[in-house]
Amino acid sequence: MADDKKLTTRAADFSAWYNEVVLRAALADYSPVRGCMVIRPNGYGIWERMQRALDDMFKATGHRNAYFPLFIPESFLHKEAQHVEGFAPETAVVTHGGGKKLEEPLIVRPTSETIIYSMFAKWVQSYRDLPLLINQWANVVRWEMRTRLFLRTLEFLWQEGHTAHATYDDAEEEARRMLGVYSDFMEGWMAMPVVTGQKTDAERFAGALRTYSCEAMMQDNKALQAGTSHNLGQNFAKAFDLKFQAEHGGQEYAWNTSWGVSTRLVGGLVMTHGDDVGIRIPPLLAPIELVIVPIYRSDDERERMLEAADRIMRALADWERRDPGRLRVHLDDRDGMKPGAKYYEWELQGVPLRLEIGPRDLEKNQAILVRRDTREKRPVSLNTLGEDVADLLTRIQEDMLIAARERREEHSMRHRISYDDFRALMDGEGAFVYAGWCGSPECEAQIKEETKATIRVLPDEEFRSAETPSTCLKCGRPATAEALWAKAY
Ligand SMILES: [Zn+2]
């Protein structure tokens, strides 16, 4: 190990802990280009599993993958007024190619609405061509000034869904459906509970009619916007002349949606589940679900234990698990390294289960299983190992979601809170605060200025309080909605 000293604790400095754990668990590294990151195999392995799960969910809801160019003609960005206003300040622009100045500069995509809807306009003629349901896996570039590994980088990987529909209702239904897909993924796969709802106008995507979001609480009680889904209305259709022949005759503009999640989710996973020992990966997303560490003292023991461990690994890897496929098992047979040093490394890297086996275990036809989430140990018979491992992985996945949900609820406030107490809370340990809002952008802006907290969402019904708050947190006038307030990444 390059660095054996203990991690900074989360309580001492959450932000320092995050950077250290990302680097030391070898998820990512800083790159020679300021603000960009290198995603290392440990981090990319998690992203690959996220991609695979999400891609299956997108296909199950009727979407198909396509790929559009990295470069966007500068003029395209200017066709939708709000869109250019939102994105122009953070674009990278290519002015030269092949040693010559370009006639029209090219934007490196910060998002692909413009180029994709310009193509949709060519492909859609009639209502029969709708809905058009496309997803793209790609990289995008946003020239951010302050960057953090995974959370905010100049270039990041993501998927962006783009759809066209015949009616407003169809687009609205799609935007909500994909928000539901995200929320299912985040809870079911990432064991990361989210609050869903609608963004206020101040936080809406540039060019959208409505933006919906999944907001997760990190362990410093800040919110992470983990995924968004936009009903774009006809804004882009009008800008790019995306029209179709309606069923009852006449030309109409299509209705669009777009939705995306990015490698930011890997950062969210770390900040939701990590502890002072390292990261903890929910089994469904773990590139390795179980690591086998053989224990031996002599060369003779070494040979016997490696042979037994290898047999166990093969048996587990061949064992027919119904869902989600074969067990992902790794045998740590590195010689000249003490078991303790191996445990340390695998715990740092968050592998959900560890199997330890020594000569005395083998005599008893057993092994020791150690959970990464609770660090609980227990002996298991080698005869029923496959079932036991699979059951335990399922339980770990469930328990991680329960623990994260309990943590969030402990740090959520739903009772009346004075504005002074709210300020003190946001200055201190932070929280998710559900409070009334009068609907005025001025109150929202003042709160942001004074406390750095923003309205994360106007929560969907299932997240709202039993009793609707009656007055605005800031001005005391009657509330028109319940808002979820928090500081955010
Ligand atoms: Zn107010």
Is 462 within 8 Å of 434 (Cβ atoms)? no
**CA of 135 relative to ligand 1 center, distance in Å:** 39
**CA of 232 relative to ligand 1 center, distance in Å:** 28
**CA of 472 relative to ligand 1 center, distance in Å:** 5
Task: With cut-offs at 50, 70 and 90, classify the pLDDT of residue 459.
Answer: very high
The dihedrals phi and psi of 373, each to the nearest 5 degrees, come to -70, -45
**CA of 217 relative to ligand 1 center, distance in Å:** 25
Q: pLDDT tens digits, residue range 58-101?
A: 999 999 999 999 999 999 988 887 878 888 889 999 999 999 99
**CA of 220 relative to ligand 1 center, distance in Å:** 27
**CA of 333 relative to ligand 1 center, distance in Å:** 63
**CA of 78 relative to ligand 1 center, distance in Å:** 34
Residue 365 has pLDDT above 80, yes or no: yes
**CA of 77 relative to ligand 1 center, distance in Å:** 35
**CA of 84 relative to ligand 1 center, distance in Å:** 30
**CA of 417 relative to ligand 1 center, distance in Å:** 14
Domains within the chain, CATH numbers bracketed: 14-273 (3.30.930.10), 288-398 (3.40.50.800), 412-486 (3.30.110.30)
Q: pLDDT tens digits, residue range 312-357?
A: 999 998 887 777 788 999 999 999 999 999 999 999 999 999 999 9
**CA of 424 relative to ligand 1 center, distance in Å:** 19
What per-residue confidence (pLDDT) applies to 3? 54
3-class SS string, 151-212: CECCEEEEEEEEEEECCHHHHHHHHHHHHHHHHHHHHHCCCCCCEEEECCHHHCCCCCCEEE
Residue 1 has pLDDT above 70, yes or no: no
CA-based nearest residue to 368, from 386, 355, 352, 351: 355
- d(C-alpha 21, C-alpha 4), whole Å: 12
What per-residue confidence (pLDDT) applies to 33? 94
What per-residue confidence (pLDDT) applies to 21? 98
- d(C-alpha 324, C-alpha 46), whole Å: 15
With 0-12 / 13-18 / 19 or more C-beta atoms within 10 angstroms meaning exposed / middle / buried, residue 379 is exposed
- Average model confidence (pLDDT) for the chain? 95
**CA of 450 relative to ligand 1 center, distance in Å:** 14
3-state secondary structure of 475: coil
Q: pLDDT tens digits, residue range 101-154?
A: 999 999 999 999 999 999 999 999 999 999 999 999 999 999 998 899 999 999
Q: pLDDT tens digits, residue range 150-169?
A: 999 999 999 999 999 999 99
Task: With cut-offs at 50, 70 and 90, classify the pLDDT of residue 2.
Answer: very low
**CA of 204 relative to ligand 1 center, distance in Å:** 19
- d(C-alpha 480, C-alpha 294), whole Å: 62
**CA of 432 relative to ligand 1 center, distance in Å:** 18
Q: pLDDT tens digits, residue range 246-262?
A: 999 999 999 999 999 99
**CA of 482 relative to ligand 1 center, distance in Å:** 12
**CA of 201 relative to ligand 1 center, distance in Å:** 15
Task: With cut-offs at 50, 70 and 90, classify the pLDDT of residue 442.
Answer: very high
**CA of 447 relative to ligand 1 center, distance in Å:** 10
CA angle at residue 117 from 71 to 55, to 5 degrees?
80
The dihedrals phi and psi of 454, each to the nearest 5 degrees, come to -130, 165
